[in-house]
Amino acid sequence: MLFNAIIFDLDGTLLNTLGDISDSVNRILSREGFPNHNEEKIRSFIGHGTKSLILNSLPPDKRDNYSVQNYLDAFLIDYSQNYYKKTFPYNGITEMLDELTKKGIVMAVFTNKPDSLAKDCINKLLPEWKFEVILGSNDSFPLKPDPAGALYISEKLNIQPAEFLFLGDSVVDIKTGLSAGMFPVGALWGFQPDELIEYGAQSLIKDPMEIIKYLT
């Protein structure tokens, strides 16, 4: 089956954001004298939203609600000022977006990254391509893997869920695509590519251009 619309995850799928996220997390930790984490450890914390990222990054005795919110606020300020310094599109992403644009494929983004930061990342780092909807975490929709955001995109664009391919690098993305009635494909170049087939990925791709064969 060929699809005429695609929803992308952002972090670990379109953009390698790990360096800037890690730097911001560690700056917040260092200010308090807390242990830092290497990028591989922080990679394992990404995908379930920014609050979860901060919760898992903090020492176990600093994970009360007040502390988590305090450090989350500090992280968001720091990251919003530094999100573009080490972040870049993965190899093959710009070529893939060019080809999808030529084919007239409708493109959208659904991410657990805060909504304003998601829009800032795309506007600054992927400004040449049109994403019909960019939806990050906000008060209107629950985080992935809840499919509500994906279904909102489907309704807003007047395209049935079954016509969407959902591309992401994590189990969270695969579960989202399945729950929304979309066709989930796993990106093996991303942050958390393990076990994607086990959780329902319909296919795995090693290079972004491989996605073209699924789209009209």
Range list of β-strands (E), 21-105:
88-89
Looking up tokens 């619309």, which residue turns up? 5
Q: Is pLDDT above 90 for 125?
A: yes
Residue 146 to residue 4: CA distance in whole angstroms: 23
C-beta separation of 180 from 199 below 8 A: no
pLDDT of residue 168: 97
Average pLDDT over residues 15-35: 97
C-beta separation of 154 from 141 below 8 A: no
pLDDT in tens, 42-68: 999 998 999 999 999 999 999 999 999
Average pLDDT over residues 5-31: 98
Residue 80 to residue 31: CA distance in whole angstroms: 17
Measured CA to CA in angstroms, residue 7 lies from 66, 76, 175 at distances of 35, 25, 13
Residue 62 to residue 147: CA distance in whole angstroms: 31
Q: Which two tokens stand for residue 131?
A: 């994403």
Banded pLDDT at 195 (limits 50, 70, 90):
confident
pLDDT of residue 95: 98
Catalogue all structural domains in the chain, each as residue range(s) with its CATH number: 5-16+87-214 (3.40.50.1000), 18-82 (1.10.150)
Radius of gyration of the chain (CA): 17
C-beta separation of 119 from 134 below 8 A: yes
Average pLDDT over residues 203-207: 95
Measured CA to CA in angstroms, residue 55 lies from 25, 75, 99, 112, 212 at distances of 11, 11, 39, 15, 38
pLDDT of residue 128: 98
pLDDT in tens, 154-189: 999 999 999 999 999 999 999 999 999 999 999 999
pLDDT in tens, 21-30: 999 999 999 9
Q: Is pLDDT above 80 for 193?
A: no
Average pLDDT over residues 128-148: 97
pLDDT of residue 23: 98
pLDDT in tens, 76-108: 999 999 999 999 999 999 999 999 999 999 999
